[in-house]
Structure 1
Amino acid sequence: MTETSTIQTSTRLTLSHNMQARSDLPQISHLEKHGYLFGKKLTASLSPFLHGVVYDKLAMNWGQVRYDSADIQEFLHLVQDPSFYGASVTMPNKVAIIPYLDQLTPEATAIGACNTIYLKTDESGRRLLCGANTDTIGVRDSFTQNLTEAQLQSTIYGRPGLIIGGGGAARSAIYALRTWLGTTDIYLVNRDAREVQAVIDDLRLSGFGTEGIMHVSSVEQAESLAEPGAAVGCVPDFPPKTEEEHVARQITEVFLAKTDKGTILEMCYNPSPYTELGALAERAGWKVILGTEALIYQGLEQDRYWTGYQLEQLPVQDVKKAIAAHLMSLSKI
C-alpha cells in the first residue's frame, strides 16, 4: 500500500469512527463512495432515490445519504472523507455554502446559488470543492430532450419567454431561457413585485445582465405583449386566494390564450406533477412538460459531474420509469 492510500484509509477510518459515535449523522460504512443531500427538511426529497437508481443500474456501490443540517462547518469536516464524491445542496444552504467553495461554474455565479458540489484536483494534488447549479440544466434539458430541433426553432428560439414565480427556480429558468434557449424578452409574472425586483437586482449584481427582463404586473400590459414561446411555472400548486395571486393568474391566462402557442415546463411535481397550471396550459393548446423532467435532468447532470459519465451513458429511461412509479405509489397513500 502506498503512503497516499495509507493516509486516505486512515482518514476514512477516523472519520467513520467519529460518525459511528454520532447517531445523528448518516451512516456510510456500507458504501464504496458516498455523497450527501445537504439541507433541511429532506424527508420528502427524491434526490437519494434518483441517484440510487443511477448507481444501481451502473453497478456502482455508491449512495447519497441525507444530512439534515445547516451546519456548514460540520459538513466541511464530513467531506474530507476520501470516499466522498459530491453533494446535492438544498435550502437553506444553497447560498450559505458559496464562500467555502474553491470554484463556481458560470451559472452558479450568475444565479448566486449552488445546488451541486463536485470535486476537482489542482496541479499540486489538492482536492477542490467546486459548486454548480444544475437546476439550470434541468430547465434546459426539459425543453431540448422533449422537443425536436424543428419544434425548438419554430416555437422557442427568437420568441419571448414567460416565467411564473419569483424565487430561486425563477432565477434558474431565466438563466436557461436566456443562455441556451434563445429567448428574447423574458416576462416575469408574480404576486409580489418586490420578489421580482430582487431577482432582477441579483442578476444585475452578478453581471448576468437584465436587458429585456420585465415584470408584467397587469392584464392590460400582458395583452400588449408578444406571444411567449417557452414558459416555466415556478410556483406551488395552490389555487389563488389573495387579490395579488388572482391578478397573477389572470395575467398568466392572457399569455396562454394568445394565438401562437408554445411549451410550458411546469416545475411543480410534489405532491403530483399534474397541476392546475399545467391543466390550464393544456386546455389553452400549449404543450406541457411535467416538472419531473426538470428533477430528472438536473439530477442526471449532477451524476455527470460525479461519475464522469455523459448523459447518453446514464440510465435516463430507467430513472424516468422509477420516478414515475414512485410518485404513483405516493399518490395512492
Structure 2
Amino acid sequence: MTHPADDGFRLPADWAPHSRCWMAWPVRSEAWGEHLGQAREAVGEVAEAIARFEPVTMIAKPTKVAEVSLLTASGVSSFSLPQDDSWLRDNGPSFVTSGTGHVAGVQWRWNAWGGRYTEVDGDAMIPEKMLEQLSMRRYQAPLVFEGSAVMTDGEGTLIANERMILDPKRNPGLQRAEADTILKQQLGAERVIWISAAIEGDPAGGRLDTMLCFVKPGVLLVQTTQDKNDANAGAYADTTERLKGATDAKGRQLQLVEIEQPRPRQSDEGKRLPLAYTSLYLANGGVIIPAFEAPQDDRAFAAIAKLFSDRQPVQLLASDIVYGGGGFRAMTLPQPAGLPAG
C-alpha cells in the first residue's frame, strides 16, 4: 500500500480552511473527577464558540447524545459512537490534504498515552468510524501516535516531540531516524524538527500545544517563564533553545515570539495543572483563546489577538477543562476543507 506522501498528501497547518471541527464529549471520570460536570458545560461553551465560525460535530456515547444537545447550540451536531475519552486531537485520524483539493485520513495505533488507561477500544475505533462516515480514504500507519505530538506549518515543516513518539511504552525500540522516515511518509513532511520536553502535569507526556504553536510559516509562539525555579523552566528553555537554532523546510530560521505562562495552579490533589495559552483553536476566521483566571490572561489575550489579527478573537475560561489534562487544541480536531479522497 502506498503512503500518503506518495499520493501527494500532507498534514495541513491549523490555519488552513476547515469544513468542520470534530470534538468528543467528556466521559472519563478517572480524568475529570468531581469536575466532570463543569467540564461538560465548558466543552459545550467551546463547541458553541467554534460553531460561530464553522460546523462542529461532537462524538458522544449513545447515552450522552441528549446531554450534548442540551448543553450545546444548534450549530453543534452529534455523532454517536463508543468512546473512552475526549482528547480527539490525540486519538482521532490525522487529516491530510492534497494539491488537488482532496482530503484523506491517517489512522494510527492507539494505546491511551502509553497505557495510562486500560479502556482503549472505544477511542481506538473512532478514526475508522469517522473516516467511514465521511467516505474518506484511510491510510494505516505503523506507529502508536497522538496528534498532539506534532505541529506543522503546512509547508513541509513538522515539529515532533520524541518524548511521546519514542516513548518505549508506546513504540518500544523505535529510533528517531525510523520515526523521522515514517512521519515524512505519513504526514508529507519534508523536514522534521525534534524536541524533547514536557511540562509538569501533562498526562500525555509532551503535547506540543502546552509549549508552542505556529503563528504562520517561520514564526512560533512559545510559552516561557521568568521564574528560573519554576518546574516548567527547564522544559521551556530546552524547547526554545532547540527551536532557535532550527531552520524550516524552506530554509528559514524560525522566529520565536514568547508568551509568559499562566500563574501555576494545582488540582484538588495538589498536582500541577498543564496550563497553556498556546493550546488555542484556530477556527475559520476566529481564534479561541484560553483563560485561566490568572493575572497573565489579559496580556496573553491581547498578544494572541495581535498575532492573529485577521481573525476574530474569542476568550473562554479553560480552568475546568484543564482538570482533565489538556486544553482547547487537544480536544479539537479540524477537518480540512476539500473533497473526500475515495
TM-score in terms of structure 2 length = 0.31
Greater Rg over alpha carbons, structure: 1
Structure having the larger proportion of residues in helix: 1
Q: Which has the higher contact order (CA 8 A, sep 6+)?
A: 2
